[in-house]
Amino acid sequence: MNADTPTLPPRARLTPQRQVVIDAIAQLDGGFTLIELYDRARTLEPRLGLATVYRTVELLRRSGAVRPLLSQGRAQYVRCRPGHHHHLVCLSCGSVQEADVCAAPPDEEVKRLYGFAPEGHELDIYGTCAKCAAA
């Protein structure tokens, strides 16, 4: 398993069916819908059930290995590396790129200004990727 392979939470059992879903995610580039993932995983295991895909993605979401995006009005997921990062989502081709930029103020500043104790944040930037802009 390489660093780009999604991992389940520590107490989740890695069944052969879940491994197929994880392998399918590792093969996908950019964002994917659950149906796209299901179709890809079924090429690896034709008897795989849609419910298994949904449950496995939910486990991966809880572990931070995938994250939901709302892109072009449809629910998508994207594979995530560990650590703090955000996503650049191309509205033309649907590609998703991880970015280390962060526009969120530091937690201490949010606490000072609003009396709010943040535990995290998510940020996705939507626009046109360099490849689409050059076309």
> CATH number for the domain including 37?
1.10.10.10
pLDDT at 126 over 50: yes
Domain that includes residue 112, residue range: 86-134
Helix (H, G, I), strand (E, B) or coil at 46: coil
Give the whole-angstrom CA distance, residue 130 versus residue 113: 36
Measured in Å, how far apart are the chain's first and last C-alpha atoms? 36
CA 84 and chain centroid, separation: 13
Residue 108 resides in a domain:
yes
Whether residue 102 sits in one domain with residue 129: yes
Residue 10 resides in a domain:
no
Question: How confident is the model over 87-110, as pLDDT tens digits?
Answer: 888 888 888 888 888 888 889 999
Helix (H, G, I), strand (E, B) or coil at 23: helix
Rounded to two decimals, the pTM is: 0.75
**H-only helix segments in 6-105:** 16-27, 34-44, 50-63
Residue 3 resides in a domain:
no
Give the whole-angstrom CA distance, residue 11 versus residue 39: 27
Question: How confident is the model over 7-48, as pLDDT tens digits?
Answer: 787 788 999 999 999 999 998 877 899 999 999 999 999 999
Domain end residue (candidates: 37, 63, 79): 79
